[in-house]
Structure 1
Amino acid sequence: MDDEPLSEWAKRRDAKVGRLRAVHLTAGEGDPRGFHVNPDAPRVIQRWNGHLWEPYAFASDLAEAKRVLYATDETEAADPPAPGPAPRLGTGTGRHRKPRPPRPDPR
């Protein structure tokens, strides 16, 4: 078995330092999966320090947790990109372009 050098492993581990995650604050929720479950429940934002997840912030609900986790630059929020032109659909014979057969009358 080929072991990777310790320096490469340490570099990969250090790249993850500072990563944030949100977990349910209420007891009995289990592991941190199911981020979308119970959107009104309070969340604890945790930060990875390289060895364990430590408390970083508190969010009162899912929307606030997302604002903390996915914060963007002020410049990006102020100037959203302009929408591009709508895609042009060509003529084709694909299944999705065929007319649907009439539905039977439910009576």
Structure 2
Amino acid sequence: MSAEDEPLSDWYARRAGRRRATGTRDAITLAPGPRRGAHVFRDAPRLVVEWDGFAWQPVGVAENYAQAHLLIARAGTAAALPQSDAPVPLLRKGTGRHRKPDPAG
């Protein structure tokens, strides 16, 4: 093995550190058009999926963004807080310049 080659165990450790963790969950908006940010179409139903190490597997369907958050955060279990890799920030109001002003306020 030359000096430029790295041991296979080092390469595998780097690769494993970059891979998505098994059990990671996400929610996909079931609305027409391309996939958009979670704050768009808040009342649209969501498909909640979980990464099994090889592919995304369906977990359930939520009626809206708030219910999808509960499935992603696994509310009711010991891990009630959102995962570190969950869509962040969940359910945040936000004040970004791209947001339309609230017509009621």
Q: TM-score range by the shorter chain?
A: 0.5 to 0.7
Report the Cα distance in structure 2 between the residues aligned to 1:42 and 1:72, rounded to whole angstroms.
18
* C-alpha deviation, 1:26, in angstroms: 2.3
Cα distance 1:41–1:17, how it changes in 2: closer, same or farther (>3 A)? same
Runs of 4+ in 1 over 4 A off after TM superposition: 1-4, 72-77
Unaligned stretches of 5+ residues in structure 2: 81-105
Structure 2 equivalent of residue 24 of structure 1: 29
Larger Rg, first or second structure (1 or 2): 1
- Structure that is richer in helix per residue: 1
Query: What is the Cα-based RMSD across aligned positions, in Å?
Result: 3.0
Report the Cα distance in structure 1 between the residues aligned to 2:68 and 2:44, rounded to whole angstroms.
10
Give 2:12's aligned amino acid: L
Native 8 Å contact 2:73 2:79 kept in 1: no
Structure 1 equivalent of residue 98 of structure 2: none
| Pairing partner for 2:74 from 71, 75, 78 | 71
Task: Give 1:1-107 correspondences, 5 Å limit.
Answer: 4-10=10-16, 12-13=18-19, 16-28=21-33, 30-31=34-35, 33-72=36-75
Unaligned stretches of 5+ residues in structure 1: 78-107
Percent identity over paired residues: 32
Cα distance 1:59–1:2, how it changes in 2: closer, same or farther (>3 A)? farther
SS of the residue corresponding to residue 43 of structure 2 reads: coil
* C-alpha deviation, 1:47, in angstroms: 0.6
* C-alpha deviation, 1:27, in angstroms: 3.3
* C-alpha deviation, 1:57, in angstroms: 1.1
Report the Cα distance in structure 1 between the residues aligned to 2:60 and 2:14, rounded to whole angstroms.
31
* C-alpha deviation, 1:52, in angstroms: 2.1
Per-residue deviation, residues 40-79 of structure 1 (Å, max 9, x unmatched)? 10000011112222211110011111111123456898xx
